[in-house]
């Protein structure tokens, strides 16, 4: 059963939600709300990512769940019980911090053994658990080192081992890979995901890196301006963004302002700035207001083929910028009276375009989405 | 520091003048302190320089005299008690004031360090009148309390400085791993701010051990501290034993500050 299915089963069933945010609001100064009306369920065994730019409220939400901040209003339920007043040390939640927060005055093994003492595990039993935890992150030989003697990636693993050693039911991570270089980051993404799956841990992960979120998550909550803009699995999020912010934050998108003329069947007719019309797959745009746009991803725009086919929008423009990038070509075209539209042309179709040359492009109607701001 | 080989004569003269000026400023600062050292080893019962004959008789006098020994013991006890009190209070105050959500931080900080700024005579008279109400004048408790007020600001300042580079997430991590707040403090926070706490403690000890004005007001003959004993010694009979006492006090200060320097060097590493 995948998470989309489980989600549909669980929507009305709070038992399956390990964490539930109920109308949570947070303000530090009593005037501005960093988190506004948060309602979110985290399911058992799920990898949920809170994705958003800095200042969007995602880290504050994580801190409230960890117990380091208190919600101004609303409730946080852990396993069905409200925990707003429960201090962090009583929540039994694992927390991996941005800069690992390893204790510099202790060895790696002492770091990993730290949580065991407060769970009554000492002596040989503790040693065995530490050994297992370090083995799980392939650091068996480094137990006697100090954190300062380790590389960034190794420190990250120690932080993971220290969190996993007490087998928390819920692990929170605050941009844990931010300080690593790209290659290491990608390897750690896979490792963390594998650990999470094999141990069946529920994980709430905060990042501003959309590719990280897409790689690891079962579901992604996109945060902006203190609200969840969309909560969905990675594919839905990418293919069916629910508003303009999500469309531009996840991957790349051409956002073209338009007005809604009407609907034909399930397809909306949009009039662009220069009067030409595009057809777009429905989406949930209600009114005919001015703040509407057609959104289409560069990889879904191609050079127009011969003959007109059904199910395609066709439009023309003048070539502006052309970049050849090896496997593909980026072609920016000025269309709809001044709007720049970028297309990603596969390398085998690439050819020379002169500046200002007339280009005819097409894109599938089902890939054009009508969005509100 | 050294000039390159192509420096012009005027640059060399300039450099020499700067060095000479710097050295004379340093001498101006420390020469009065070191005058007492040779005097304490002089055999003469009056202060003459250069010293004609060396001896340890004033040191023998110092260590053989019950009044001096009593004064040193009084100073040590008061200083140790002051250090314990001031370090505890100052560290707690610094921890509180360093919380990001602490209200009116600057105002409270100014209040906390005000004993350092207020003229010492005013602190002394104020302490005398205030503690008198509670019968604490001429008691060791009163002296320790007054010295604690003087010493605490040093601890607040050094610990606050250390906390400014302390990663708060370490404490949060300890809590998230299940440590109760007190264990998180003693096992994680304290070991990582220890250099600041120890520097503060050294300052607190030195403040109490060297202090004379408040001690003059707050002590009777039985609680007389070393600096008070020296002060009354100067007034009553000029005697080179005072020079021996001063040299010992100077040596103690140098040792304390050497410890401090070692501590800060380790912290930089």
B170 → closest Cβ in A92, A98, A101: A101
Verify whether the Cβ–Cβ distance B172 to A99 is below 8 Å.
no
Verify whether the Cβ–Cβ distance B169 to A98 is below 8 Å.
yes
Query: Cα(A61)–Cα(A59) distance, rounded to whole angstroms?
Result: 5
Domain boundary among A187, A217, A244: A244
Find the mean pLDDT for residues A13-23: 78
Answer whether A226's CB lies under 8 Å from A36's CB: yes
Q: Is B222 exposed, middle or buried (0-12, 13-18, 19+ CB in 10 A)?
A: exposed
How many domains in chain A?
A: 2
Which residue intervals of chain A are DSSP H helices? Answer: 3-10, 58-66, 108-117, 123-136, 152-164, 182-199, 210-216, 234-239, 244-249
H or E element: which one contains A68? none
- Interval A342-371: pLDDT, tens: 999 888 887 888 888 889 998 888 888 888
Verify whether the Cβ–Cβ distance B178 to A115 is below 8 Å.
yes
Q: Is A236 exposed, middle or buried (0-12, 13-18, 19+ CB in 10 A)?
A: middle
Answer whether A297's CB lies under 8 Å from A262's CB: no
Who's near A211: CB < 8 A, 6+ residues apart?
Answer: none
- Interval A295-305: pLDDT, tens: 899 999 988 87
Half-sphere exposure (Cβ direction) of A134: Cα atoms closer than 13 Å: 22
Verify whether the Cβ–Cβ distance A101 to B178 is below 8 Å.
no
- Cα distance from A88 to chain B (closest Cα, Å)? 5
Neighbours of A84 (CB within 10 A): 15
Query: Looking at per-residue confidence, does B45 or A273 come out higher?
Result: A273
Asked if residue A124 and residue A92 are part of one domain, the reply reads yes
- Tell whether B166 lies on the interface with A, counting CB pairs under 8 A: no
Q: Evaluate if residue A188 carries a pLDDT over 70.
A: yes
Q: Look up the CATH architecture of domain B66-268.
A: Orthogonal Bundle (1.10)
Asked if residue A207 and residue A170 are part of one domain, the reply reads yes
- Tell whether B103 lies on the interface with A, counting CB pairs under 8 A: no
Verify whether the Cβ–Cβ distance A92 to B178 is below 8 Å.
yes
Distances (CA, A) of A69 to A35, A60, A73, A315: 12, 7, 12, 52
Q: Which two tokens stand for residue A313?
A: 């929008």
Q: Label residue B221 by pLDDT band (50, 70, 90).
A: confident
Domain boundary among A193, A225, A244: A244
Asked if residue A289 and residue A189 are part of one domain, the reply reads no
Neighbours of B199 (CB within 10 A): 23
Match 């299940």 to its residue by tokens. B178
A29, A69, A93, A105, best to mutate vs chain B, most B CBs in 10 Å: A105
Q: What pLDDT sits at residue A282?
A: 62
Who's near A253: CB < 8 A, 6+ residues apart?
Answer: A241, A247, A295, A296, A297, A298
B177 → closest Cβ in A104, A105, A162: A162
Query: Looking at per-residue confidence, does A102 or B43 come out higher?
Result: A102
Q: Evaluate if residue A289 carries a pLDDT over 70.
A: no
Q: Evaluate if residue A319 carries a pLDDT over 50.
A: yes
B100, B178, B191, B268, best to mutate vs chain A, most A CBs in 10 Å: B178
Asked if residue A291 and residue A228 are part of one domain, the reply reads no
SS3 A76: strand
Q: What is the pTM of this model?
A: 0.79
Asked if residue A156 and residue A33 are part of one domain, the reply reads yes
Q: Please give the distance of CA A339 from its chain centroid, rounded to a whole number.
A: 29
User: A104: domain CATH number?
Assistant: 3.40.50.300
Neighbours of B192 (CB within 10 A): 18
B176 → closest Cβ in A66, A105, A119: A66
Find the mean pLDDT for residues A213-218: 92
Mean pLDDT (chain B) is 86
Every domain of chain B and the residues it spans: 66-268
Asked if residue A293 and residue A184 are part of one domain, the reply reads no
- Cα distance from A118 to chain B (closest Cα, Å)? 6
Verify whether the Cβ–Cβ distance A94 to B176 is below 8 Å.
yes
Q: Quick one: angle between helices B66-97 and B190-210, nearest 10? A: 140
- Cα distance from B145 to chain A (closest Cα, Å)? 34
Q: Please give the distance of CA A121 from its chain centroid, rounded to a whole number.
A: 37
Asked if residue A204 and residue A256 are part of one domain, the reply reads no
Who's near A119: CB < 8 A, 6+ residues apart?
Answer: A166, B178
Asked if residue A148 and residue A110 are part of one domain, the reply reads yes
Query: Cα(B245)–Cα(B144) distance, rounded to whole angstroms?
Result: 22
Domain boundary among A212, A244, A276: A244
Alpha-carbon torsion, ordered A130, A136, A139, A140, to 10 deg? 60
Verify whether the Cβ–Cβ distance B174 to A114 is below 8 Å.
yes
User: A279: domain CATH number?
Assistant: 2.40.50.140
- Cα distance from B104 to chain A (closest Cα, Å)? 14
- Interval A241-287: pLDDT, tens: 888 889 888 888 888 888 888 777 778 888 888 888 888 886 666 66
ipTM: 0.81
Verify whether the Cβ–Cβ distance A98 to B176 is below 8 Å.
no
Domain that holds residue A155: 3-244
Q: Label residue B65 by pLDDT band (50, 70, 90).
A: confident
Residues of B in contact with A163 (CB under 8 A): 177
SS3 B24: helix
Residue A301, phi then psi, degrees to nearest 5: -105, 130
Asked if residue A168 and residue A148 are part of one domain, the reply reads yes
Q: Evaluate if residue A3 carries a pLDDT over 60.
A: no
Q: What pLDDT sits at residue B46?
A: 73
Residues of B in contact with A104 (CB under 8 A): 192
Verify whether the Cβ–Cβ distance A97 to B192 is below 8 Å.
no
Asked if residue A271 and residue A184 are part of one domain, the reply reads no
Query: Cα(A36)–Cα(A24) distance, rounded to whole angstroms?
Result: 7
Asked if residue A272 and residue A123 are part of one domain, the reply reads no
Asked if residue A294 and residue A232 are part of one domain, the reply reads no
């Amino acid at each position: 059963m995948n998470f989309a299915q489980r989600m549909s089963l669980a929507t009305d069933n709070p038992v399956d939600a390990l964490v539930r945010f109920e109308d949570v609001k947070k303000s530090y100064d009593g005037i501005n709300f960093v988190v506004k009306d948060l309602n979110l369920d985290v399911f058992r065994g799920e990898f949920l990512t809170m994705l958003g730019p800095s200042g969007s409220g995602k880290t504050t939400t994580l801190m409230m769940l960890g117990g380091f901040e208190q919600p101004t209003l609303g409730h946080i339920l852990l396993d069905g019980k409200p925990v707003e007043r429960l201090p962090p040390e009583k929540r039994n939640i694992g927390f991996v911090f941005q800069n690992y927060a390893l204790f510099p005055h202790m060895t790696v093994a002492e770091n990993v053994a730290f949580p065991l003492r407060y769970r009554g595990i000492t002596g040989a039993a503790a040693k065995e658990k530490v050994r297992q935890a370090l083995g799980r992150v392939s650091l068996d030989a480094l137990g006697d080192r100090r954190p300062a003697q380790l590389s960034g990636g190794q420190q990250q693993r120690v932080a993971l081992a220290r969190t996993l050693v007490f087998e928390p039911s819920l692990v929170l991570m605050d941009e844990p890979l931010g300080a690593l270089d790209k290659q290491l980051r990608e390897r750690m993404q896979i490792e963390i995901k594998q650990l999470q799956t094999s141990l069946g841990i529920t994980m709430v992960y905060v990042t501003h890196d959309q590719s990280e979120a897409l790689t690891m998550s079962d579901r992604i909550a996109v945060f902006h301006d203190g609200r969840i803009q969309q909560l969905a699995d990675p594919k839905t999020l990418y293919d069916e963004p629910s508003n303009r912010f999500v469309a531009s934050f996840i991957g790349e998108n051409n956002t073209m302002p338009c007005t809604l003329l009407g609907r034909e069947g399930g397809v909306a007719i949009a009039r662009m700035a220069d009067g030409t019309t595009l057809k777009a797959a429905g989406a949930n745009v209600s009114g005919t207001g001015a703040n509407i746009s057609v959104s289409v991803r560069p990889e879904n725009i191609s050079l127009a083929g011969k003959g007109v086919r059904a199910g395609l929008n066709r439009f023309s423009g003048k070539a502006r910028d052309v970049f050849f990038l090896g496997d593909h070509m980026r072609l920016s075209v000025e269309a709809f009276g001044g709007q720049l539209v970028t297309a990603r042309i596969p390398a085998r179709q690439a050819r020379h375009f002169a500046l200002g040359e007339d280009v005819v492009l097409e894109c599938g109607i089902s890939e054009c989405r009508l969005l509100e701001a | 520091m050294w000039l390159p080989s192509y420096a012009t004569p005027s640059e060399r003269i300039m450099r020499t003048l700067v060095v000479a000026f710097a050295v004379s400023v340093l001498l101006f600062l420390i020469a009065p302190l070191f005058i007492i050292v040779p005097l304490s080893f002089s055999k003469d019962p009056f202060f003459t320089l250069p010293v004609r004959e060396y001896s340890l008789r004033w040191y023998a006098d110092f260590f053989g005299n019950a009044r001096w020994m009593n004064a040193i013991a009084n100073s040590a006890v008061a200083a140790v008690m002051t250090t314990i009190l001031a370090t505890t209070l100052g560290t707690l105050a610094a921890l509180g004031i360093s919380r990001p959500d602490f209200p009116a931080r600057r105002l409270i900080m100014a209040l906390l360090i005000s004993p350092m700024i207020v003229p010492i005579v005013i602190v002394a008279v104020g302490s005398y009148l205030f503690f008198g109400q509670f019968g604490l004048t001429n008691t060791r408790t009163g002296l320790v309390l007054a010295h604690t007020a003087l010493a605490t600001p040093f601890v607040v300042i050094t610990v606050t400085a250390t906390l400014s580079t302390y990663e708060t997430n370490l404490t949060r991590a300890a809590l998230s791993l299940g440590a109760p707040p007190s264990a998180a403090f003693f096992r994680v926070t304290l070991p990582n701010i220890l250099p600041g706490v120890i520097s503060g403690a050294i300052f607190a000890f030195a403040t109490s051990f060297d202090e004379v004005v408040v001690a003059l007001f707050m002590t009777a003959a039985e609680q007389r501290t070393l600096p008070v004993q020296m002060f009354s010694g100067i007034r009553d009979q000029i005697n080179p034993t005072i020079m021996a006492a001063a040299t010992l006090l100077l040596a103690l200060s140098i040792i304390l500050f050497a410890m401090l320097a070692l501590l800060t060097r380790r912290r930089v590493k």
